[in-house]
A and B are shown apart, each in its own frame.
Chain A
């Protein structure tokens, strides 16, 4: 028996040792949560990036070589992410796309930077990620401060005076809530409620009852779509008609399914424009291809932003005529201007942040469609 146990260890050792092999392709890494709580985002990211790579390869790839996507699972947690990042660096990837979640991305930043590999994050909006001076870190996602500003502006424009803010204690939602709270208070609005719910539960009536007691004109919920769906549904069940405004993490096609059409109607949220609202022929064509292949819409904008990350990387390699990390990063910083991405024009500033106003206001209509507000 004991020999068997040690044999198992030996097999394990060999298995880990059997790692990289060289091939004449350009490898691009995708770090995404394939398991764990955010697996749906990760699987969406993988589908989009692989489809884009397939299309690029059909057009002859990049620099005359085929692109190979190497996906590693970060499990949605920082420790697994640091291992995933180490693994990608040893597989000889030219650049990495991903990942979802600021803390998860942060755990991998050092590793890619020290390995000289450019990283384009897709679902990581925490401000500090681009304030650390990494020269090869980019993101296609906007930053929390921009969204906070937009949220405060929108609330002012819609004329709400008494505001309740609800987050879910995640780094992202708390950051956005703090940002909006500070701006709203500065502009003299009355924030009557500020607290956090516990995500992944099913019953939020206790919280809604408490919220209702504070009697706000509007509720700003900065968390994610599963909780937003339940809040809307249970709010309607209570016959409480207060409007809700959400952040970009509620931009998910499942939101309306979860809440039901009636309950979701009238819900506002801020988000980068959705692919179907882009007028470029490019985005429309890709979306049609995606639907044909997977028979569904991409789960969220974050998966689409991973696609944009891939496109930017491919353009960077083609533009720099090299897979050298420094050259690709330099190209992305300086020469990639108004590149046509699925989510709109992409340019990166000196910090690696995406330039330009990205956020739009959406409202859910009676049919459960997300309607862009002008």
Chain B
């Protein structure tokens, strides 16, 4: 039983990161119906930018741990958001009126480009975050191994997700985003600047991806130029699992995917872990064709 709860917490910690990246997918999808395959690479950029800023500016030495990491997080979010906006301008805006899949191929091209740019700048070897930054305290709750940082990461993810949810649901700008997601033309007629809404979505989504990258770098220590591909795929799966376009769905999907992976590895087979996760996904989609929390969309007639 103890092992079960340990695996559950392991899964939640991994799932928190998936959920954070899945938010970016789901936001972009909600408004543009575009699967942004380059989103995983924006996550990687978050991790690399975080490392560069951390080592070159020595923020944690100057400002202390908490303030230093906070400033760093804000800087990374800002930079990756700008990158996301540039990506939108260069690769997606020209394709907005085109068949949907053209933009997907453009996104794949952008993903290859971004990945290889990182490889040329930083080299192909793994990059390592300095390991003396984080406090290494481990909580011991009822015999469970819970490193403090893990708890903090999950808490931070949930906090950001809730903030985003409130932003979308309660603010005026959030209402505009929701309106654009439902019907861009009607939103335009209501006086909403859809271009600005899309730009905003491409600032917020990548910013969340970037901070997820920074967290992975800080906590796991090693980053690599191809890691966005793996995480991106998982996050995309999570977004679909929860019902793509739906923000609480991305949270639920991410956490669930993490837990399914951990428990599948623990009780069935480690080697088949990813296959088990995909089987669960397919079964859920057979029962609920639009994901766990996805709305049932009637076909337009």
A interface residue numbers (CB < 8 A to B): 35, 37, 39-40, 42-43, 169, 195-198, 200-203, 205-207, 209-210, 213, 226, 229-230, 233, 237-239, 254, 257-258, 260, 299
Interface centre among B6, B13, B14, B116 (most CB of A within 10 A): B6
Interface with A: B70-78, B120-128, B174-182, which one? B120-128
B117 touches A (CB below 8 Å): no
Which B residues are in CB contact (< 8 Å) with A200? 224, 226-227, 230
Asked if residues B269 and A195 are in contact (CB atoms below 8 Å), the reply is: yes
Q: Show 21 A/B contacts (Cβ-Cβ < 8 Å), sorted by A.
A: A42-B124, A43-B124, A195-B270, A196-B271, A198-B270, A206-B7, A206-B14, A206-B265, A207-B265, A207-B270, A209-B6, A210-B7, A226-B224, A230-B220, A237-B145, A239-B138, A239-B145, A254-B128, A257-B126, A258-B126, A258-B128
Which B residue's beta carbon lies closest to that of A257? B128
B254 touches A (CB below 8 Å): no
Nearest Cβ on chain B to A58's Cβ, whole angstroms: 27
Asked if residues A206 and B10 are in contact (CB atoms below 8 Å), the reply is: yes
Asked if residues A203 and B14 are in contact (CB atoms below 8 Å), the reply is: yes
Asked if residues A299 and B220 are in contact (CB atoms below 8 Å), the reply is: no
Docked complex Cα distance between A37 and B11 (Å): 26
Which B residues are in CB contact (< 8 Å) with A196? 270-271
Among B11, B265, B274, contact of A210 (Cβ-Cβ < 8 Å)? B265
**20 other A-B residue contacts (CB within 8 Å) besides A40-B124, A238-B145, A260-B221:** A35-B119, A37-B226, A39-B119, A42-B124, A195-B270, A197-B270, A198-B273, A200-B230, A201-B230, A202-B220, A203-B220, A206-B7, A206-B14, A206-B270, A209-B6, A210-B265, A226-B224, A237-B138, A257-B126, A258-B221
Which A residue's beta carbon lies closest to that of B217? A202
Asked if residues B123 and A40 are in contact (CB atoms below 8 Å), the reply is: yes
Which B residues are in CB contact (< 8 Å) with A239? 138, 145
Asked if residues B226 and A209 are in contact (CB atoms below 8 Å), the reply is: no
Which B residues are in CB contact (< 8 Å) with A39? 119, 124
Which B residue's beta carbon lies closest to that of A226? B126
Docked complex Cα distance between A39 and B118 (Å): 13
A258 and B226 contact, Cβ closer than 8 Å, known pairs A39-B119, A226-B126:
no
B147 touches A (CB below 8 Å): yes
Which B residue's beta carbon lies closest to that of A197? B270
Asked if residues B126 and A254 are in contact (CB atoms below 8 Å), the reply is: yes
Nearest Cβ on chain B to A353's Cβ, whole angstroms: 29
Nearest Cβ on chain A to B119's Cβ, whole angstroms: 6
Which A residues are in CB contact (< 8 Å) with B126? 40, 226, 229, 254, 257-258
Docked complex Cα distance between A254 and B223 (Å): 12
Interface residue ranges of B103-138 to A (CB < 8 Å): 116, 119, 123-126, 128, 131, 136, 138
Which B residue's beta carbon lies closest to that of A260? B131
Nearest Cβ on chain A to B225's Cβ, whole angstroms: 9
Docked complex Cα distance between A260 and B230 (Å): 24
Size bracket of the B interface = 35 or more
B216 touches A (CB below 8 Å): yes
Nearest Cβ on chain A to B51's Cβ, whole angstroms: 13
Nearest Cβ on chain A to B55's Cβ, whole angstroms: 13
Asked if residues A237 and B125 are in contact (CB atoms below 8 Å), the reply is: no
Docked complex Cα distance between A153 and B280 (Å): 42
A237 and B147 contact, Cβ closer than 8 Å, known pairs A39-B119, A198-B274, A205-B10:
yes
Nearest Cβ on chain A to B13's Cβ, whole angstroms: 7
Number of A-B contacts (CB under 8 A): 89
Among A198, A202, A205, contact of B222 (Cβ-Cβ < 8 Å)? A202
Docked complex Cα distance between A349 and B261 (Å): 47
Nearest Cβ on chain B to A276's Cβ, whole angstroms: 19
Which A residue's beta carbon lies closest to that of B14? A203
Among A37, A43, A229, A238, contact of B123 (Cβ-Cβ < 8 Å)? A43
Interface bits B207-220 vs A (CB < 8 Å: 1, else 0): 00000000010001
Docked complex Cα distance between A39 and B116 (Å): 11
Docked complex Cα distance between A324 and B147 (Å): 62
Nearest 5 pairs of A and B residues by beta carbon: A39-B124, A196-B271, A40-B124, A206-B262, A40-B125
Interface residue ranges of B88-114 to A (CB < 8 Å): none
Which A residues are in CB contact (< 8 Å) with B125? 40, 254, 299
B183 touches A (CB below 8 Å): no
Which A residues are in CB contact (< 8 Å) with B147? 237
Among A43, A197, A206, A233, contact of B266 (Cβ-Cβ < 8 Å)? A206
Which B residues are in CB contact (< 8 Å) with A254? 125-126, 128
Which B residue's beta carbon lies closest to that of A208? B10
Asked if residues A213 and B3 are in contact (CB atoms below 8 Å), the reply is: yes
Docked complex Cα distance between A105 and B230 (Å): 26
Interface residue ranges of B1-20 to A (CB < 8 Å): 3, 6-7, 10-11, 13-14
Nearest Cβ on chain B to A235's Cβ, whole angstroms: 11
Which B residues are in CB contact (< 8 Å) with A226? 126, 222, 224
Which A residues are in CB contact (< 8 Å) with B145? 237-239
Among B7, B14, B116, B273, contact of A209 (Cβ-Cβ < 8 Å)? B7
Which B residues are in CB contact (< 8 Å) with A213? 3
Which B residues are in CB contact (< 8 Å) with A43? 123-124
Interface residue ranges of B167-223 to A (CB < 8 Å): 216, 220-222
Docked complex Cα distance between A200 and B7 (Å): 20
Nearest Cβ on chain A to B131's Cβ, whole angstroms: 4
Docked complex Cα distance between A254 and B123 (Å): 13
Interface centre among B123, B131, B274 (most CB of A within 10 A): B131
Which A residue's beta carbon lies closest to that of B264? A206
Which B residue's beta carbon lies closest to that of A42? B124
Which B residues are in CB contact (< 8 Å) with A37? 226
Interface residue ranges of B139-176 to A (CB < 8 Å): 145, 147
Docked complex Cα distance between A258 and B116 (Å): 22
Which A residue's beta carbon lies closest to that of B223? A202
